[in-house]
Structure 1
Amino acid sequence: MDHVQELSTLVSRLGRWLDDKSPGDGRALFTEDAEAHTPGGVSKGVDALVEQARRNHAVPTQHFITGPLIDVDGDTALISANLLAVFAHEGGPRLLGERYELRAARTREGWRLSRVQAHPIWEAA
């Protein structure tokens, strides 16, 4: 599998992982020193990132991550993608339109995300 396909799959796995309520310890997706900067807060380190994801995705969710643009430079990559996140609250859905800016690093275990930066564009409740 080429790098672009591996990284595209990694981005898809991120969305599924969030929707599945962040199972496991996150190390199959993130580097040990990974950071997340999202509307739900800022976390540094894989353990803090996993805790933030679990805390902010308590209701059923569905993340649609589309159109990844991937720029590989050796053992690092920059990825930009559109995100539509749906949070299924009892009172009705909350929808978020965001742009993801992701960084990835090639590790001995394969590509892992080292930074997740979400840029909110719109919201509807």
Structure 2
Amino acid sequence: MNAIDISTGRIQDLADKFEITELVHRLGRALDEGDWDELAALYTHDATARTPGGKAVGRAALVGQAGRNHSPDRQIQHIISGIIVELNGDTATVRANLLCVFAWGPTQDPTLGSQPRLTLGEVYRFAAVRTGDGWQFSSVASSPVWSVGTRPRPSAA
């Protein structure tokens, strides 16, 4: 099969997989930067989340949970790889690996920023649906595989 033999359906599948992969990467960026408006736009209004941070039903609850678990006093990086998208018409399932590094507090050298304190290895599983606004997640679940470091204590209120 050469490039000019690619069917329109195959091109649409590739475009859908690219859009969904971008959705996964936008999720990481939104969580890293605390961009809750961006995070909300990635999910359907009735989306569900099941993560080590809790369960949430509905876009507002999901964004609220993310905000509580991604404190602005910590630097966080979500490194997402191994994204596999399985299309089924206007729905898709997605599996991805997540490496998440949480850093806070000063280092010996202030030019280095915060110090990594917790690193998590998890597996993301998403359900996605094609909407009038493009692909959005209808559910997300993350399952811990391993961790190194100490989880932070909740800040005093």
Question: Same fold by TM (over 0.5)?
Answer: yes
Task: Specify whether residues 3 and 25 from structure 1 end up closer, same or farther in structure 2 by C-alpha distance, changes over 3 A only.
Answer: closer
Distance 2:55 2:62 in 1: 8
User: Following the alignment from structure 1 to structure 2, what is the Cα–Cα distance between the partners of residues 70 and 104?
Assistant: 10
Identity of aligned residues (%): 45
For 2:117, give the aligned amino acid: P
TM-score, normalised by the number of residues in structure 2: 0.76
After TM superposition, the runs of 4+ consecutive aligned structure 1 residues lying more than 2 A away are: 89-92
Q: What's 1:70 paired with?
A: 85
Residue-pair matches, total: 125
Match of 1:53 among 63, 66, 79: 66
In the alignment, is residue 123 of structure 1 matched against residue 147 of structure 2?
Answer: yes
Give the structure 1 partner of residue 154 of structure 2. Answer: none
Q: Unpaired segments of 5 or more residues in structure 2?
A: 1-13, 106-114, 150-157
RMSD value, Cα: 1.4
Query: Which structure: greater helix fraction?
Result: 2
Unaligned runs of 5+ in 1: none
Q: CA deviation at 1:28?
A: 1.8
Q: Which has the larger share of strand?
A: 1
**Structure 2 CA distance for partners of 1:19 and 1:53, relative to 1, 3 Å:** same
Which structure has more relative contact order (CA 8 Å, sep 6+)? It is: 1
Give a deviation string over 1:61-101, Cα, whole Å, max 9, x none: 00001010100101110000000011113274200000001
Q: Which has the larger radius of gyration?
A: 2
CA distance in structure 1 between the aligned counterparts of 2:82 and 2:31, rounded to whole angstroms: 18
Q: Does 1:39 align with 2:52?
A: yes
